A and B are shown apart, each in its own frame.
Chain A
Amino acid sequence: DQQVKQNSPSLSVQEGRISILNCDYTNSMFDYFLWYKKYPAEGPTFLISISSIKDKNEDGRFTVFLNKSAKHLSLHIVPSQPGDSAVYFCAASARWAGGTSYGKLTFGQGTILTVHP
């Protein structure tokens, strides 16, 4: 049962344009969401996060949008750069489930982003 889904295995974008990566979740207990970026031969690195009390969080070229009613979040990269080419993982956490923070992240399958010069 995949609780976090990234339905697009890959995305190709021209440099300077917007990249939009999508993520859907099914567990209504999730209240914290993160995006990780992974280059080949490296571990994933944290990119940006959003709490369920917000619907938008921005950090430079990266913006994450959360639509709780649709159980959907998206990552926007504007403008896209060739160095953004990587695998992007969406992750979710049920931090306050049962009053305890478990620190467990549930990840999606990942989306390979390719930004062409």
Chain B
Amino acid sequence: EAQVTQNPRYLITVTGKKLTVTCSQNMNHEYMSWYRQDPGLGLRQIYYSMNVEVTDKGDVPEGYKVSRKEKRNFPLILESPSPNQTSLYFCASSFRTGTNEKLFFGSGTQLSVL
């Protein structure tokens, strides 16, 4: 089954404790991205990757890191989480071609930073 898998689904942590949210896709997509969803703000892009070893900042990259060492995986790293990073996070992927920007999303990771 074609899917984007995120782990964990729920995470509660404390300020400053490094964490990683994993994302994996099995559709051989070149493009992967992370979004956060906040009330009244919709989905905002954090980082994206056009292909292996190619990553770039989205609209709200502060406090986050990513890596793309393999095509299928795109982990999101919070080196020193803060309470304002409490949010619902989505990983997404798609083919890179310009004819269809249809993104496939994971089920989300609800992060609470205390």
Contact = CB atoms under 8 A, between A and B. Distances in A.
A103 B96 contact: yes
A109 B44 CA distance: 9
B101 A34 contact: yes
A69 B50 CA distance: 32
Interface of B: 4, 31, 33, 35, 40-45, 48, 50, 58-59, 90, 92, 94, 96-98, 100-108
**Residues of A contacting B: mostly:** loop
A107 B105 contact: no
B98 A41 contact: no
Contacts of B35: 107
A43 B105 contact: yes
A13 interface: no
Interface in A69-115: 89, 91, 93, 95-96, 101, 103-110
A44 B96 contact: no
A45 interface: yes
B43 A103 contact: no
B98 A43 contact: no
A43 B110 CA distance: 12
10 contacts: A6-B42, A9-B40, A42-B107, A46-B104, A101-B98, A103-B31, A103-B101, A104-B33, A105-B45, A110-B43
Contacts of B33: 103-104
B27 to A, nearest CB: 13
A62 interface: no
A22 to B, nearest CB: 14
